Structure 1
Amino acid sequence: MQLSIVIPAYNEEEVLPRTLERIQVAVGAQHLPQAEWEIIVCDNNSDDRTAELASGLGARVVTEPHNQIARARNTGAAAASGKWLLFIDADTWPDEALMKDVLAIIGEDQLIGCGSTIRIEGGTLFNRLRMERINPVFRILNMSGGAFLLCRRDAFDAIGGFSENLYALEEVDLQYRLKKYGRSLHKGFKVLHAHPVATSGRKGEIRFSSILRMIVSNFMAIILFLLYFILPKKYIGKVGRKMLGYWYKR
Structure 2
Amino acid sequence: MPDYSIVIPAFDEELLLPSTIAALREAMNDISLEGEIIVVDNNSSDATAEVASKAGARVVFEPVNRISTARNAGAKVARGEWFVFVDADTRIPVDLLKKALNSLAGGKIGGGGACIRFGPDGKGAHPLMLRLWNWISRFFKLAAGSFIFCLREGFEEVGGFSNKVYAGEEILFSRQYKRWCLRQGLGFQVFPNPPVSTSARKLQWYSPFRLAATFCLFVLCPFLVRSRSFCSFWYDRPKVARDSGRG
Q: TM-score, normalised by structure 1?
A: 0.89
Unmatched tracts of structure 2, length 5 or more: 238-247
Cα distance in structure 1, aligned partners of 2:71 and 2:124: 30
1:128: how far off? 4.4
Amino acid at match of 2:46: D
1:68: how far off? 0.9
Q: Does 1:247 align with 2:234?
A: yes
Amino acid at match of 2:86: I
Counterpart position of 1:219: 216
Counterpart position of 2:101: 103
Counterpart position of 1:172: 171
Spell out, residue by residue over 1:62-98, the C-alpha distance to the aligned partner (whole angstroms, 9 max, x if none): 0101111011101011010111110000011111111
1:204: how far off? 3.4
Q: CA RMSD in A?
A: 1.6
Amino acid at match of 2:118: I
Spell out, residue by residue over 1:33-55, the C-alpha distance to the aligned partner (whole angstroms, 9 max, x if none): xxx21000000000111101111
1:245: how far off? 2.1
**Contact in 1 for aligned 2:141/2:174 (Cα 8 Å):** no
Cα distance in structure 2, aligned partners of 1:138 and 1:84: 22
Amino acid at match of 1:192: F
Counterpart position of 1:8: 9
**Contact in 1 for aligned 2:68/2:161 (Cα 8 Å):** yes
Q: Does 1:139 align with 2:126?
A: no
Counterpart position of 1:231: none
Counterpart position of 1:47: 45
1:223: how far off? 3.6
Amino acid at match of 2:207: S
**Taking structure 1 as reference, are residues 125 and 3 closer, same or farther at Cα in structure 2, changes over 3 Å only?**
same
Cα distance in structure 2, aligned partners of 1:40 and 1:55: 10
1:109: how far off? 2.3
1:150: how far off? 0.4
Counterpart position of 2:153: 154
Unmatched tracts of structure 1, length 5 or more: 229-235
Larger deviation: 139-148 or 84-93?
A: 139-148
Give matches, 1:16-165, under 5 Å.
16-32=17-33, 36-121=34-119, 122-165=121-164
Cα distance in structure 1, aligned partners of 2:87 and 2:51: 16
Spell out, residue by residue over 1:175-222, the C-alpha distance to the aligned partner (whole angstroms, 9 max, x if none): 00001111111112000112001111113333xx22221121112222
Cα distance in structure 1, aligned partners of 2:82 and 2:13: 24
Q: TM-score, normalised by structure 2?
A: 0.90
